[in-house]
Amino acid sequence: MKIDVAGKDTYVYTNYREIDPGKASVVFLHGSGMDHTVWTLPARHFARHGRNVISVDLPGHGRSAGEPLTSIEAMADWLIIVLDTLAIEQTAITGHSLGSLVALDCAARHPERIRAAALVGTTSPMPVSDAILNASASDDHDAFDMLTQWGYSKRHQYGGNSNPGMWMVGGTLALFERSRSGVLNADMTACNDYTAGLERAATLQCPVLAVLGEQDRLTPVRSAQNLLQALPDPDIRVLAGAGHTLMTESPNDLLDALKSVL
């Protein structure tokens, strides 16, 4: 469905259901250069189990109009406007990669609005290599190629997903290729520039789940240790054999983990 957020058409996937403010809600936030479609499996699951599902396309992404936002804080504040527009007072929130930083920042600065948070494929700080920043700044296809290759474990470069019909590496590359000019660079820069993550993590008041890929090459488990230590009593799940693109590489294990907090 499309809603008006700050004067811009914004797309939120709800599994074709009307939002009922009286029900528990779950927000899904995609990663850099992506859109709501990366969350289709868990979004459908939670919708079928009585939750409002709000899987957003961030500004400038997917079916949402406007220019991409340039900071994690701006994305978190934008999400609060989305909740206000839908008359949702409180929600659980999950985000992948860029989306995990938005979820973290939103939960920390708006604690009355977030009842639980799931951070998927996360780390903080989340530095981005100069190679990716430079390629994305010039809309060079190399940025898509690098993120797609490094976004999967070596084993999953060859496919072999347990869920039939999921085109893994090719599907991710096609999603990057559909993104608008400048969007990926704006997202990558926002991740690279966000320095408040550890400070925000220490203030979280809600239950927190962190789901990491054992073979993640973009946000390795080792790089997430400072964040995990800053979080108050997080539930930490490391999915064996998975890389950074956990929604595709380990969809069923990820869904099982999300059920525990969302």
| pLDDT value, residue 163 | 62
Chain segment 88-98, per-residue pLDDT in tens: 999 999 999 99
Report which secondary-structure segment, H or E, holds 77: helix 72-85
Residue numbers of the domain that contains 221:
2-259
Chain segment 11-21, per-residue pLDDT in tens: 999 999 999 99
| pLDDT value, residue 160 | 64
109 vs 78: CA distance, rounded Å: 13
**Residue 45 in contact with residue 53, Cβ under 8 Å?**
no
Percent residues over pLDDT 70 in the chain: 97
42 vs 15: CA distance, rounded Å: 11
- Which of 66, 75, 91 has its CA nearest to residue 30? 75
**What is the pTM for the complete model shown?**
0.96
Structure tokens at 111: 């604690």
Chain segment 52-101, per-residue pLDDT in tens: 999 999 999 999 999 999 999 999 999 999 999 999 999 999 999 999 99
Residue 155 belongs to domain with CATH number? 3.40.50.1820
Is residue 164 packed enough to be buried (19+ CB in 10 Å), middle (13-18) or exposed (0-12)? exposed
Considering its fold, how many domains does the chain have in total?
A: 1
Chain segment 13-50, per-residue pLDDT in tens: 999 999 999 999 999 999 999 999 999 999 999 999 99
Chain segment 127-183, per-residue pLDDT in tens: 999 999 999 999 999 999 999 999 999 887 776 666 666 678 888 999 999 999 999
Cα-based distances in Å from 86 to 81, 83, 93:
9, 5, 15
